[in-house]
Structure 1
């Protein structure tokens, strides 16, 4: 599925269609789009009202005839037409005219590991609808590993964990390829849901949709580690009366609720290590795990993984944009292919 470096070097733009954010990298211009993957539609006329951050702020605040949609779910395009319209507005008229002047527009797009053929075709058709004559597919794991600076082309193990909003992908890479990988359907949205359910069942409190961000309201300081604050005050709506109410909650109980979905992530890491050859596992003792993706910024998540696995855990410098920056580096020709010298006779 992953394109070669020579094919990627011919591409003019790279797209990372994530469930949370859409990012576009144009060769020679850099990262030009980094916006939420959200669109607001007028259901009466079918017209597009807003995209990106403006549309995200409209979530839960619109009248009945305006619908806020997310055309991407779990890294897979679920509404091709809406994804195309969203991308057109995010790129803008000036940039789209510049891209249309390319004689044979080529594009590269990130796809989740082990994406089925329908998901791959949906990603390709989305970019073909924007004028791309050819679309190259790149595994998100490899693109993210390149973007965070891992030496994936060497004959040694590199372990990466891509923490997305809908899923978490874990893999061990060597010699520029994936040795073993696992995709766990648990991400930042599962953590959000765990917090919401805990507050609803234990405190009969509902949070506004805009406020359901992991740890921004419920935790602070050291995040999900026990060294965090003992209590936190939360504002929301009472389930029974519908009136606004503030409660002071025990953050230890919230940490326990968060740990429940993250257990699946630990199981995925264990499965990848069990399926990995012993020689590569020995390399990981010193290298550890590199965390990328927007949910990698969950406070205390790296510490929890460090304690559970006994391995070093690092967070990339810019974890949320590693995948698209890795694609951009391959487009710009900054990544050199590994050349094996023949043995001298």
Structure 2
């Protein structure tokens, strides 16, 4: 792990700042924030108008003087000041006052695998701006594995796939550490984008950015499997006339359109397995792949991976909150480390 469990037990709160959602866990109180990572700003006064769910509803529906921003991109904070303002409003005055009364306030945060030093620094500075005197960073893969109940501390191979909005992270874990891992810049947003581009090119139809979830509409039923409905109706804006129009879309064509981003995920899984020792690969073949993250709920994705790899694929009970729940379990001291005592000579 990035830090010891003893250091994490001293932390008072934990933050999982993702491209899609921001989650905050407070020791003793549990999960207190689970909101979209979105903020709306008045460009005339630079004042914050809304954050979270309400700000997300404003996307694509604001006048010119209101700007909807996302201070997090690909799991990395790109606007520290805006991220701090967003977190302050999401946590709320009452909870912030309670945290500030803690002596030497400590925080823990998830960071994507192989995050560069600048990205790590941005996370630390954001939480320091909220009053934290010390910030511990934990790899998202470790936190998610703990949160979904994988036996990461044992001497056996477990494979986890964190399906985020902007990226997918795959790793094999053993003895509480990452043996080999791969970060693929393909996530739920890439799949959505592939569907939107397909509809634009094939049907000259433009979809609203946030009011319609093209994935759920186009992949209803059994999703990526060929057993779903043959066609589905989608309503959008005609590119040529500028008027609203409905079209019936062949779901088989949609499945073909999203194969390109999903193929990159399969390549990443193959690379991780090739870099693993044979014993750990055998463990993975027995135990399977655990999928976590919001995009793990993509209809039919688990079945597609199962067919392509020949390995059992499981989806965590609550895949979207596994990472923050794992951090919370470490903060609360619910995880016992495996003690390796050196043998006497």
Query: What TM-score results when the alignment is normalised by the length of structure 2?
Result: 0.99
Q: How does 1:314-333 map to 2 (within 5 A)?
A: 314-333=314-333
Deviations 1:87-119 (A, max 9, x none): 000000100000010011000000000000000
Look up the SS of the partner of 1:322 in the other structure.
helix
Query: Corresponding residue for 1:164?
Result: 164
Is residue 157–residue 172 contact of structure 2 (8 Å, CA) maintained in 1? yes
Shift of 1:281: 0.4
Task: Determine if the alignment matches structure 1 residue 288 to structure 2 residue 313.
Answer: no
TM-score, length of structure 1 as denominator length: 0.99
Distance, in Å, in 2 between the alignment partners of 1:4 and 1:239 is: 55
Q: Which moved more, 1:277-286 or 1:118-127?
A: 277-286
For the Cα contact (< 8 Å) 1:192–1:212, is it kept in 2?
A: no
- The structural deviation recorded for 1:340 is 2.2
Specify the SS of the correspondent of 2:92. helix
- Please name the residue that 1:233 is paired with: 233
Q: Distance in 1 between matches of 2:130 and 2:173?
A: 33
CA contact (8 A) 2:196 2:214 kept: no
In structure 1, list runs of 5 or more residues that go unmatched: none
Q: 1:1-345 alignment to 2 at 5 Å?
A: 2-343=2-343
Q: CA deviation at 1:211?
A: 3.6
Runs (5+) with no aligned partner, structure 2: none
User: Residue 217 of structure 1 aligns to a residue in which SS?
Assistant: helix
Give the match's secondary structure for 1:104: coil
Tell me the C-alpha RMSD between the 2 structures: 1.0
Spell out, residue by residue over 1:276-316, the C-alpha distance to the aligned partner (whole angstroms, 9 max, x if none).
01110011111010000000000000000000000000000
Alpha-carbon distance in structure 1 between the residues aligned to 2:43 and 2:267: 43
For the residues of structure 2 that align with 1:305 and 1:225, how far apart are their CA atoms? 11
